[in-house]
Amino acid sequence: MPELDRIDRKILDVLQRQGRMSMTELAEHIGLSASPCAERVKRMERDGVITGYHAHVSPEALGRTLLVFVEIKLSAKSGDVFDKVRKELLHMPEVLECHLVSGSFDYLVKARLSGMSEYRHLLGDILKKLPVAAESHSYVVMEEIKETLMLAVDR
């Protein structure tokens, strides 16, 4: 991955905040004309620095009012099991995040659900589809203080 200069980083900063800003306006913000600005953006898209552009939607507007984190501990830990878990969780749209963690549990899953019925269904799915799920522990979110994917660009 190539180096990012100050202009690249400024572009990333702006596009992380306003992903639909026009190249013309973006160019003004960073003090460049439109063509080289657009070229830098394209280069970063090609290089995988910018991985995509996404509208963010209010979970409440879609009725997903329940946010839960689920810790899952597997009893067996073969490579096969990890692969299967990956595949299963990737295709559950209510699962927004899944990470393999070190420490006292194996997976940390974040899911947005419409209510307790969907929650019960999720847990059932996980424990049934996973070949050797042993323990699971859930945390219900009472208040969301912050949720973003925006990274500081530093400089």
Q: Which stretch binds DNA (CB under 7 A): 33-41, 69-77, 98-106, 139-147?
A: 33-41
x-or-dash pattern for a second copy, window 106-125, by CB under 8 A? -xx---x-------------
* Beta carbons within 8 Å of 134's beta carbon, 6+ residues apart: 73, 74, 75
Residue from 19, 25, 63, 83 that binds DNA (CB under 7 A)? 25
Instruction: Kindly state whether residue 44 participates in binding DNA, applying the rule CB under 7 A.
Output: no
112 binds, among a second copy, DNA, none (CB under 5 to 8 A by kind): a second copy
Tokens of 5: 């200069």
Nearer to DNA, 45 or 80 (CB): 45
* Beta carbons within 8 Å of 90's beta carbon, 6+ residues apart: 98
Q: Compute the distance between CA of residue 58 and CA of residue 78 in angstroms, rounded to an integer.
A: 38
Q: Compute the distance between CA of residue 61 and CA of residue 68 in angstroms, rounded to an integer.
A: 18
Nearer to a second copy, 117 or 150 (CB): 150
Return the bridge partners of 1, or none: none
For the segment 15-74, give every residue that binds a second copy (CB under 8 A).
15-20, 47-62, 64, 67, 69
Return the bridge partners of 109, or none: 70, 98
Amino acid at site 88: E
Tokens of 51: 């991985």
Binding residues for a second copy, per CB under 8 A? 1, 4, 12, 15-20, 47-62, 64, 67, 69, 85-86, 89-90, 93-103, 105, 107-108, 112, 137-154
